[in-house]
Amino acid sequence: MKKFLSLLLSIIILSFTLSAQVTAKTTSQNLSDANALKIADNASKHFWNALHGYKTRSCSQKTFNYKGTEYSYICQEFNTKDKLTTYLGETFTNNAVEKGLNKYSYITHNGKLARPIGDGDSMLEWRKAKIKLVYQKTNVRSYNLTVPTVDGDSVKRTVTFYKSGSTWKVNQFDAVQ
């Protein structure tokens, strides 16, 4: 009887250990390299749309001067901080959005959201990047990426993802510029 109980206890412990390893393995691998690249690519699009002030160029943006800086009102789809924050929150953490809006000097002027006028567009081909996981915890992943540019060069970026509920989001607004 003792042998039977010992055997039964051993089987239960072994079963529990295997089950825990499978659960841990599944949880830690739910952000694949391919998914991380897709999220980074999508976040890059969100970043540039926010900087341009539109998703689809369907409005004329009026400009004004504020404290010596030339600003442009953002198009209707993002013309309030709440609208832009909601859009950026699809791919960025709340902390990244708040810091990004401050860093890039977004303001509300006459009840509308505006941003300083600037040039630029993404030259990076995120989906073609080479990716390497460099840090991992349950709800955090950091990757080093070598991202090719449209002119044949490449740049190095580190992108950190945080898990928010069941969604992985980028934790720095301009990490994907």
Question: Over the stretch 128-156, which tens digit does the pLDDT of each residue have?
Answer: 999 999 999 999 999 999 999 999 999 99
Q: Do residues 90 and 49 make contact, with C-beta atoms less than 8 angstroms apart?
A: no
Burial of 36: CB neighbours in 10 Å, binned 0-12, 13-18, 19+: buried
Among residues 158, 44, 17, which one has the least CA distance to residue 100?
44
- Within-domain flag for 91: yes
pTM above 0.85, yes or no: no
- Within-domain flag for 26: no
- Within-domain flag for 55: yes
**pLDDT for the residue numbered 157:** 95
- Domain range for 85 is 36-116
The three-class DSSP label of residue 52 is helix
CATH no. for residue 92? 3.10.450.420
Distances (CA, A) of 17 to 3, 49, 127, 145: 21, 47, 38, 35
- Within-domain flag for 144: no
Question: CA angle 10-13-15, nearest 5°?
Answer: 105
**Confidence grade of residue 167 (pLDDT, cut at 50, 70, 90):** very high
The three-class DSSP label of residue 54 is coil
- Within-domain flag for 66: yes
- Within-domain flag for 77: yes
Q: Residue 31: phi, psi to the nearest 5?
A: -115, 95
Based on the structure, what is the number of domains in the chain? 1
- Within-domain flag for 73: yes
**Confidence grade of residue 119 (pLDDT, cut at 50, 70, 90):** low
